[in-house]
Amino acid sequence: MHRMSRGAGTVYVDASEVRPTVKLRMPSRTGSNERSLGRERPTLSVTAGDGAGDASAVAAGFEVRPGGLGSPAQAAALATLCAVLFLTFLDNTVVSVGLANIQSTLHAGVTSLQWVVDGYALTFATFMLAAGTMGDILGRKKAMLAGVAVFCAGSVVCATAPSSGWLIAGRVIMGVGAAASEPGTLSVIRHVYPDRATRADALGVWAAVSGLALALGPVIAGSLVGLASWRAIFWFNLGFGLVAFAMALAFVPESSDPEGRRFDWAGMLLGGGALGCVSFAIIQGEISGYGAWWIDVLFAASFVLATAFVRVERVRKSPMIDLGLFRKPPFLGSNVVAFATFFGTFSIFFFTALYVQVVITQSAYQTALDFLPMAVALIIGSAFTGPWVARSGARIPMVVGCALAAVGIFVTSATLGPHSGLGTLGWTLPIAGFGFGIALVPVTSAALTVVPPERSGMAASATNTSRELGAVIGVAVLGAVVDSKLTGELAARLKALGIPPSFQSLVVNAVSSGGLSPSAASKAEHSHTVHVADLATKVIHAAYEAFGSGLHLSFDIAGALLALSAVVAAATVHRKSGEQYEL
């Protein structure tokens, strides 16, 4: 143990955490007078570039104290980092309850709604690894502030968007800002908290806040849409973002590790290009057809770019991601679980919210109430899993979490129907939420355990990227499934009803583009002309049944992937003797 004297007390630092290579002198608040009294502030010895706890990058005068959540300065920094994390993770799910309102006011189709979600998640995933490296080189606080500013600018574009195209553009801008600001929320913690025990508590708070943000997204959105409209979601983002920016400016110390590192432009362009091509091909293929030549070109381009990305990253001295890490089973397994949990999470948030508002015709308030039990379950699951992981490792919580989430999705798929409400969703969704909460916490700790400290930032960014990729691919693939079922089955049902072919295409287009709103459907069903009302009722029921068919299939796919990820976690996530988990 190393001993550091501080006034009348003594602070002990674990010798395994510090090696005397670089010294950071904590300056005295009272200058030479204090040193003359023999109470000189301590010198803390650390290892330069140690991603697990490098205090050498912390600003001079920043008070570090072991125990609890550290000193007031450390606690303020942690609160700020969690505020930024909450902001960026919240926007993964906060628009879900506003989708029906967006569809009716902007006449956006299912494809456009997919891009409203994927525009954010895709750019978030694409630029996250690159932004993390840029923060390491140029300064993590600078990257965070720039990211929050860009996020706020994108929120303004979204809040004032006159069309779905502008809304998607704003979401893309927000995704770039989130990618720049989110990596620092984890890497700065590792510099602010050099003591392992204190850092473990701080990382527990970080993990809980990430789950809290995902869970509260639909609840907050439902309240805002109920009070005003979907635009209120983005004005809320702007206000919260400005507060987070001011807090980061005041409380977060600057840190960087530029030695021997270069920015990987080739990796960013190739990886981002591959993700963009495959996502665009999956989503737009439903409109143009997967046999269209340019859709095939996009799939081929994605494959070529992904192959080039792998080749480039293998030979880079400073790669955006060290692909050799995926040869470590726990690292690979934790990234598979991260992908699967967000894939499943978005199947719930995106499609359930759309279904209950369009088919069941619930208000935004009612939708928020439907999701509230799930939010509570997710928060509870995240809260108690941290100590569980610290005590027994990540394997069992991952397996249990994925299995519970799969069960919750399967049960929701089996029970969700045109007459469902809080009485049904109030007990099925919490099963999935509790599983998601359990699974989300150990993913990062499992990945960090099998990498050296200097690679911890890269490992954490890789896991977060896998999460966002799960959201992107989940919304793209499952959205394509729902849209295919909606248009294909609806056309068949309309033909069976005897609707003339010339009107079939009009009905299908109205339903898929948002032209058939719940209010318009209700007016048609209650027409004074009996024949018109009867026919409208049959057409509307056919549309809702086709939508429900696609919804159930998408849930079954998501549930199967989560069940498979539980098997992967059981087979790959092991803790060797002597390994320690951060949470």
* Structural domains of the chain, ranges and CATH numbers in brackets: 2-46 (no CATH), 72-264+316-486+551-572 (1.20.1250.20)
Q: Please state, in angstroms and rounded to a whole number, the distance separating the CA atoms of residues 453 and 522.
A: 60
The Cα–Cα gap between 332 and 569 comes to 9
pLDDT digits (tens, 9 = 90+) for 306-329: 999 999 988 887 787 888 888 888
CA distance 231 to 105: 11
Predicted TM-score of the model (pTM): 0.73
pLDDT of residue 200: 67
* DSSP strand pairing (9-13 vs 22-25): unpaired
One-letter identity of residue 187: S
Take residue 378 and report the two structure tokens written for it: 């997710």
d(CA 132, CA 182): 8
Residue 312, C-beta contacts closer than 8 angstroms, at least 6 positions apart = 266, 267, 270, 319
Q: Name the residue among 204, 151, 157, 198 with its Cα closest to residue 174.
A: 151
Choice among 19-23, 161-165, 231-235 with the minimum mean pLDDT? 19-23
pLDDT digits (tens, 9 = 90+) for 135-157: 777 888 999 999 999 999 999 99
Q: pLDDT for 83-98, tens place per residue?
A: 999 999 888 888 878 8
Provide the token pair at 330.
Answer: 């726990």
**Structure token pair of residue 57:** 């990058």
pLDDT digits (tens, 9 = 90+) for 422-471: 888 889 999 999 998 888 878 877 776 777 655 666 777 788 888 888 88
Q: How do residues 267-293 score in pLDDT, each as one tens digit? A: 888 988 887 888 778 777 766 777 888
